[in-house]
Amino acid sequence: MNYGFIKAAAATPRIRVADCDKNANMIISQIKEAHSNGAALVTFPELCVTGYTCSDLFLQRALLKSAEKAVLKIMTETKLLDIVSVIGVPIDSKQSLYNCAVVIYRGDILGIVPKVNIPNYSEFYEARHFTSGEYADEYINYAGINDVYLSKNQFFQCADMSEFSFGVEICEDLWVANSPSINLTSAGAAIICNPSASDDVISKEMYRRDLVKIQSGKLCCAYIYSGSGFGESTTDMVFSGQNIISENASVLAESERFTQGLTYADIDVQKLMGERRRINTYNDYSGILNIKKVYFDMPVKHTKLCRKFEQTPFVPSNKDDLSKRCGEIIKIQATGLATRLEHTGIKNAVLGLSGGLDSTLALIVSVHAFDMLGINRKNIHTVTMPCFGTTKRTKSNAEKLAGAYGVSFEEIDITLAVRQHFADIKHEEAITDIIYENTQARERTQVLMDLSNKYNGLVIGTGDLSELALGWATYNGDHMSMYSVNVSVPKTLVRYLTAYEAQKSEGMLKEVLLDVLDTPVSPELLPPDKEGKIAQKTEDVVGPYELHDFFLYYFVRFGFTPSKIYYLAKTSFKGKYDNAVIKKWLTVFIKRFFAQQFKRSCLPDGPKVGSVTLSPRSDWRMPSDASVKMWLDDLEKVN
């Protein structure tokens, strides 16, 4: 449960219809198994104590009393375990019979939640036996516990970890328009448990999965769906035991159908609560919904993660999804530029083409935008500006790219201009310091801006999101442009977008794009080595971009603490980077992110393509003078 992770389980026991004692033994066995595997919450299917398919036997007093004894047995056998169990059972109260979920923890019943929406159609004819729990609101004595609250209007919260909170709705309650989970999450529940019994027919499992995903996304919650399986009567139906655990529209885990057992997932309740705080339309209605909050005392313990966190969170792991995503991103970028060109009436663009990744992607986007508008590609004026650090390889690739795309190309050597500036400011050329580097960067930007006047064109920015996060840009140098097409594309994704374009290309264009991908990332502001190869490699100075993009994603998108990001990075990059290296570069990231905000506060316009962007106008507003101490202190306390 540390860092907000709750290991949850969805269980499908092998049952026998109307044999409550046997079913209780199976449930107890799975609770113990879930507990031994570190789960803090386990959800069982609808009416699993008796079996969902008892039909008119539900009206038999013997079955109801046997079910109550079975619940007492489950409570007794699990009273020493720190795990909450949600178990389906029929319960009679006064003159009604309810389809309920009993919430059990350490030998006690925290509450009983009745099913609200009782189906009365074809195969599901529950209305013959059960009463809707819509208006049930009473305290009953059940399984040896006095004054147990029976109502849909309650959810459950860990006293020592407020984010660990959950509510319950039962099967059909999910399928209707006004699900109880809507109010439960609005009142504060982070997780919804659904004990269910849903029969299987062709393609129904896909609809069921989509329904769970959408509900978890719509309500910004985790959703645990536990379905009945083997042992239910097959007189007219078959139950496959489909278990699904979804978090904010992403399926974390799903069982293989027509099996029994436990399905586990690590739910990040801190992330869910952070998302709700970020979404200002997610209002807190706890004061007006009259929903009771029931507390339970569970010690906060370490959660051994089985959940995987991709090393490149900005990049889809599925190849088909990746290809589709790349095409969509380039279209968004190109549409943004095309719209700006059309609005201004400008039909020319000026682009500094270095032969590196970022400027290559900017050229790709520019070509797509001009094709979209039907403007001659020759109106894209690419310029290579060699100086002290330019290598033959990158210079050659810039020229080849321009030729392959059929855009205008010119070379302007800025060496003399930079040397003149050194003389003007009395700087020794032999001193290859920040002045030496930034003079080149600013001279290039000056050339581009002046060419934009000459050609009546927009200067296209090439800097990417990762560079903005680190402040790895020369202020009023490559930091500035008239429209920045890569502004919300992180470096790890720049590489995949370029590779996507290469895949679609042929001949010389494909060859040069692949060579660009194979070129080390460098601003080329320091002289090459003795062999004429790139000596200045960005990642040697600021650290691996794959690490920084990982840090950036979880820091900005979810507001995670540095200690939590470090914990996730250790898990994700285990075997690739040791802990000391990860901590070193995370420290660099945090320091630079805070210190370099002033560069982001005056960014040029550029299109948003994903959920993480640093535009000061829309997505990231941060004072340039904010103290970094609190974040560094948080990281310092971990090993």
What residues are annotated to the active site?
Answer: 46, 115, 171
Which is nearest to 445 in space by CA: 404, 420, 486, 473?
Answer: 473
Phi first, then psi, for residue 218 (nearest 5°) are -65, -40
The C-alpha angle with vertex 77 and arms to 74 and 81, in degrees rounded to 5, equals 105
- d(CA 591, CA 594) in angstroms, rounded, equals 6
Rounded to an integer, what distance in angstroms lies between the CA atom of residue 445 and that of residue 455? 15
Measured in degrees and rounded to the nearest 5, phi and psi for residue 20 equal -65, -35
Task: Look up residue 128 and give its two tokens.
Answer: 């013959």
235 contact partners, CB below 8 Å, separation of at least 6: 53
Block residue for tokens 């802990």: 579
Element (H, E) at 88: strand 84-93
Cα separation of the two ends of the chain: 18
How distant, in Å, are the alpha carbons of 14, 51, 134, 201 from that of 229? 7, 10, 27, 14
DSSP result, 285-327 = -TTTTTPEEEEE--------------S-TTS-SSHHHHHHHHH
613: left (phi over 0), alpha (psi -120 to 50) or beta: beta
**Sole residue written with tokens 């202190």:** 633
The amino acid occupying position 272 is L
- In single-letter form, the type of residue at position 281 comes to T
Q: What are phi and psi of 594, to 5 degrees?
A: -75, -40
Q: Can you tell me the distance from the alpha carbon of 167 to that of 445, in angstroms, rounded to the nearest whole number? A: 57
Q: Rg for the chain (alpha carbons), in Å?
A: 30
Cα gap 598→601, rounded to integer Å: 5
Q: How many CA atoms lie within 13 A of 382 on its CB side?
A: 29
For 259, 543, 561, the CA distances from 581, given in Å and listed in that order, are: 43, 9, 18
How far, in whole angstroms, is CA 347 from its chain's centroid?
39
- The pair of structure tokens assigned to 331 is 């279209």
Rounded CA-CA distance 166/175 in Å is 19
